[in-house]
Amino acid sequence: MIQSNVHNKRSISNGMMFLLAAACGLIVANLYYSQTLVGPISSDLSLPSGSAGLIVTITQIGYVAGLLFIVPLSDMLENRRLIVALLAFIVLALSVAAFSRGAFLFMSASLMIGLGSVVAQILVPFAAYLSTEEQRGRVVGNVMSGLLLGIMLARPVASLIAGVWGWQAIFAISAGLMVLLGFLLISRLPERRPGKGLTYGQLVASLLKLFKQTPILRRRAFYQACLFGAFSLFWTTVPLRLVDQYGMSQQGIALFALVGVAGAIAAPIAGRLADKNWSRALTLSAIIIAILSFIILALVHNKSNGSLVLLFIAAITLDMAVSGNLVIGQRAIYSLGNETRGRLNGLFMAIFFIGGAVGSFVGGLTYAHGGWVITTWIGALLPLIALLYFFTEAKAKASA
């Protein structure tokens, strides 16, 4: 049995690290299957074009709610049982989504999928707990690579499967995978019983106190919220752009989305460099890359092969910026304390997923009513806000 109040000096095994990375990737992919399927889903469910972004936004809202009200349980309940219970909940939600024939039922299932998928954010701190301080950046980077690969592969896989069997099939297939994953995790994960402390009500109430008392949490979460908002805006609208401007099929969109997988290489690299105290330089680089990615798309938007190539490049650079900065932020959060790690991670993820939900909603709305150019300029504005906030950190350091 692993007690959370005992310092763990053992290094996490490569096998356990791979299992946690794969589990996180498979679980979090459930949040993104609908992202490249906005067109066919909204068409089948008779949603107006301006509301198409809600398909993604509702799932992210569920995820935020889970981060705030379910993840704190990881600081209170035995983690392995909590993980398996949440996986069973996801199986139910995915099954409902697979057989939905109306907008209300599908949106309800999407909310449930988001709520249950926070189990990934119980597994990531679990990996950090099992690692030593010296290897924490590398471990978090590797596990987050699995999570980010799940995010990035979810889009092309969903498009490919939808092109063959229809959009419902991906949800049914994922439900089966979650069942298998549940059996695997309950047999392989060690127990982790948090030390006795706060009640659930006190844990949830403590979130506001932790937020107020942890400036690094506020800063890292704000950076990531801006970047993830831009990321969600891009991936909510670019499938619509590819269909409208280039007449791409779901298979074509799948190949485009597959390009974004290359961005996952930034996660382990960022983790290793963060261990060498490069966090601030990497954060600045990620923000600037995100800004430039959108500015180029806003300036070059004609229907040409060159414009399409720029879309491919932006898919890679945006994913690199978001994945790299995410690992840096989580490493900083996980270094703040063991007993509060679940709640700190929940707050961090909730804040930046709020940014993602806003980005998805605004992206769908602006694309429907203002077009691609306005959408891309708004995409550039989000990381620009993060850049302005970053400069306040530099001034604070200089005056200290």
Average pLDDT value for the chain: 84
337: left (phi over 0), alpha (psi -120 to 50) or beta: left
pLDDT score, position 87: 96
pLDDT at residue 399 greater than cutoff 50: no
Element (H, E) at 193: strand 192-193
pLDDT score, position 52: 66
Could you tell me the pLDDT band of residue 220, with boundaries at 50, 70 and 90? very high
Q: What is the Rg, in whole angstroms, of the alpha carbon atoms belonging to the chain?
A: 20
Contact at 8 Å (CB) between 361 and 268?
A: no
Could you say which DSSP state residue 35 is in?
G
Helix 266-274 and helix 305-334, axial crossing angle in degrees, nearest 10: 40
- Spatial distance between the Cα atoms of 39 and 364, rounded to a whole number of angstroms: 11
Cβ-proximal residues to 81 (8 Å cutoff; 6+ apart), any chain: none
User: Amino acid identity of 56?
Assistant: V
Render 72-120 in DSSP notation, one character per residue: GGGGTS-HHHHHHHHHHHHHHHHHHHHT--SHHHHHHHHHHHHHHGGGH
Q: Is 2 helix (H, G, I), strand (E, B) or coil?
A: strand
**pLDDT (tens digit, 9 = 90+) per residue, 339-362?**
677 678 778 888 988 898 899 889
Average pLDDT over residues 122-146: 77
pLDDT at residue 255 greater than cutoff 90: no
Average pLDDT over residues 140-151: 79
Residue 23 φ then ψ, to 5°: -60, -45
pLDDT score, position 83: 94
pLDDT at residue 166 greater than cutoff 80: yes
Q: Which of 1-10, 79-88, 116-125 has the lowest mean pLDDT?
A: 1-10
Which architecture characterizes domain 12-399 according to CATH?
Up-down Bundle (1.20)
pLDDT at residue 395 greater than cutoff 70: no
Average pLDDT over residues 232-245: 89
Contact at 8 Å (CB) between 56 and 195?
A: no
pLDDT score, position 267: 66
Cα 81 to Cα 78, 94, 374, distances in angstroms: 6, 20, 47
Average pLDDT over residues 22-34: 92
Share of the chain above pLDDT 90, in %: 35
- By C-alpha distance, which of 76, 337, 61 is closest to 216? 337
Share of the chain above pLDDT 70, in %: 90
Contact at 8 Å (CB) between 78 and 371?
A: no
Could you tell me the pLDDT band of residue 8, with boundaries at 50, 70 and 90? very low
- Spatial distance between the Cα atoms of 398 and 64, rounded to a whole number of angstroms: 35
pLDDT score, position 198: 72
Per-domain residue ranges for the chain?
12-399
Buried b / exposed e along 244-255 (16+ C-beta atoms within 10 A):
ebeebebebbbe
Q: Is 248 helix (H, G, I), strand (E, B) or coil?
A: coil
Average pLDDT over residues 111-117: 95
Average pLDDT over residues 4-26: 74
pLDDT at residue 28 greater than cutoff 90: yes
pLDDT score, position 2: 41
**pLDDT (tens digit, 9 = 90+) per residue, 285-338?**
999 999 999 999 999 877 778 888 999 999 989 988 988 888 888 788 877 766
